[in-house]
Amino acid sequence: MSTAPLPLQRDLPTRNRALAMARSVRDVVRAQAEASERERTLTKETVEALWRSGLMQVQNPVVAGGLEPSIPELIEVYEELAWQDASVGWIGIANLPTAAFAAAYLPDEGFAEVFAAHRNRVTLAGQFAPNGQGVVCDGGYRVSASWSFGSGTGHSEYVVGGFIPMVDGVPRMAADGILPELTVAVFPRDEIEFLDGWHVTGLKGTGSYDYRVADAFVPEHLTFPLFTREPKRGGLVFELGIMPIVAAGHAGWALGVSRSALDDVMGLAQSKVRMGEPTTLAHKPTFQRGLAHHEGMWRAAWCQVRDANERVWERMEAGDELTLAMRADLRLAATYATEAAREVVQWCHLASGTTAIREGSRLERAFRDLYTGTQHAFISEKTYLDVASVMLGLVEQNPGL
């Protein structure tokens, strides 16, 4: 396995075309970060830069204008964007895969309406959790639901929402007869009622608005199964399904934010002298010890994420089936990386002293953003319980992994 990249290697040439696109937006992203926080959603300048770079559709199937990057390549992209700015990194793990999932899994009529009709220049975002019910009717569903944390909806033409199909007041069951069907609807933006609840501690620039619909008709062709691994277009990466790709996103995001904090605190250490100290932070033994320890923690998390995702990808390329144990490894890596990143950023914040409490400081923002990101249910304690159940042989299936 290759060693983790040092900060100075961040600009080395790459054969990952998607990563090159992500690097190309650095100046705009960093210049617009504070404005996005004030607006509580990405600025028009940032969104346009993401489109100009090709990033907004890079994860799509080729037929929808994308490159279909592999999971290891996507992790590099997610990490790079989060290193630039955590809110933009979060948008990277929200808008990019949401559009890609819809492009891969929608029926042909839905793909034509959402993507082909707009020459693939279309942004999607929203919440996949099945928070609502959709009464089965002629040609589709009547959906009523409320969703929270629709990251990226501030600049999206279409908004997705998960729901449970209902027949005569009873959930329609999946083919296995054990769980109800879980379905994702794609709504045109003008059918959504947005609620102004995005006043938060961190990730302020993500436009993660609450939203709802009431008895909205959704045609069958604008829906797809939540846990499908059968793409209607696109290649191997879409055979993974939604959950492994989301896991890669959370892992790459946490690694990118914490990497930015480590890089920034090392730069600060060269000149900062804390009150009462005889020399700079860089010459203080306790700082040196803390820096090395947390650099090691970051590299360990980075290696676990890369190892788990590269092994799964290699097995998929070899034609192996995606097993429950493989999915558990990916979720474990993402959850541990997030917890390790939280500790890293906390140390960077403490070591930086008053620099890290001033609004506008990247260290201050990284601290708020990382702690906000760790509250996401996808990388909560429940992941460890689910993974342990797989390790102990207590369960034979778990669609949520």
Q: Residues 238-283: pLDDT tens digits?
A: 999 999 999 999 999 999 999 999 999 999 989 888 877 888 888 9
Question: 184 pairs with which residues across the strands?
Answer: 162, 224
pLDDT of residue 274: 81
43 located within any domain: yes
pLDDT of residue 196: 80
Residues 261 and 368 in one domain: yes
Tokens 């961190």, located at residue? 202
End residue of a domain, out of 190, 225, 260: 225
Residue 127 host element (H or E): strand 124-137
Distance between CA atoms of residues 343 and 356, nearest Å? 15
Residue 40 has pLDDT above 70, yes or no: yes
End residue of a domain, out of 225, 255, 288: 225
pLDDT of residue 13: 83
Residue 209 host element (H or E): strand 209-219
pLDDT of residue 14: 87
Residues 205 and 257 in one domain: no
Using an 8 Å Cβ cutoff, are 352 and 269 in contact? Answer: no
70 located within any domain: yes
HSE of 364 in the Cβ direction (CA atoms, 13 Å)?
14
90 located within any domain: yes
43: left (phi over 0), alpha (psi -120 to 50) or beta: beta
Average pLDDT of the chain?
Answer: 94
236 located within any domain: no
Question: 218 pairs with which residues across the strands?
Answer: 141
Which pLDDT band, with edges at 50, 70 and 90, does 385 fall under? very high
pLDDT of residue 178: 74
Which pLDDT band, with edges at 50, 70 and 90, does 1 fall under? very low
Q: What percent of the chain has pLDDT over 70?
A: 98
pLDDT of residue 193: 96
The domain spanning residue 52 has which CATH number? 1.10.540.10
pLDDT of residue 399: 85
In degrees rounded to 5, what are phi and psi of residue 166?
Answer: -120, 135
Distance between CA atoms of residues 157 and 121, nearest Å? 10
Residue 186 host element (H or E): strand 183-188
Distance between CA atoms of residues 190 and 174, nearest Å? 31
Using an 8 Å Cβ cutoff, are 243 and 327 in contact? Answer: yes
pLDDT tens for each residue of 171-226? 998 877 778 999 999 999 999 999 988 999 999 999 999 999 999 999 999 999 99
Residues 48 and 142 in one domain: no
Number of domains in the chain: 3
Residues 362 and 315 in one domain: yes
Residues 258 and 219 in one domain: no
202 located within any domain: yes
For the segment 313-342, the average pLDDT, to the nearest whole number, is 97
Residues 205 and 323 in one domain: no
The domain spanning residue 186 has which CATH number? 2.40.110.10
Residue 345 has pLDDT above 60, yes or no: yes
Using an 8 Å Cβ cutoff, are 159 and 192 in contact? Answer: yes
Task: Please write down the long-range contacts of 287-295, taking CB distance under 8 Å and 24 or more positions apart.
Answer: 287/351, 290/347, 290/351, 291/262, 291/265, 291/266, 291/351, 294/262, 294/343, 294/344, 294/347, 294/348, 295/262
Distance between CA atoms of residues 81 and 129, nearest Å? 25
Print the domain residue range for 176: 124-225
Distance between CA atoms of residues 326 and 400, nearest Å? 13
Question: Which of helix, strand or coil describes residue 352?
Answer: coil
Residue 3 has pLDDT above 80, yes or no: no
Residues 245 and 387 in one domain: yes
The domain spanning residue 383 has which CATH number? 1.20.140.10
With a CB cutoff of 8 Å and minimum separation 6, the contacts of 243 are 227, 327, 330, 331, 400, 401
220 located within any domain: yes
pLDDT tens for each residue of 123-182? 999 999 999 999 999 999 999 999 999 999 999 999 999 999 999 999 998 877 778 999
Which pLDDT band, with edges at 50, 70 and 90, does 9 fall under? low
377 located within any domain: yes
Q: Give this prediction's pTM.
A: 0.95
Distance between CA atoms of residues 72 and 174, nearest Å? 32
Distance between CA atoms of residues 39 and 29, nearest Å? 14
Stretch among 6-15, 39-48, 185-194, 329-338 having the lowest mean pLDDT: 6-15
End residue of a domain, out of 166, 190, 225: 225
Residue 93: Cβ-neighbour burial (10 angstroms; 0-12, 13-18, 19+) = buried
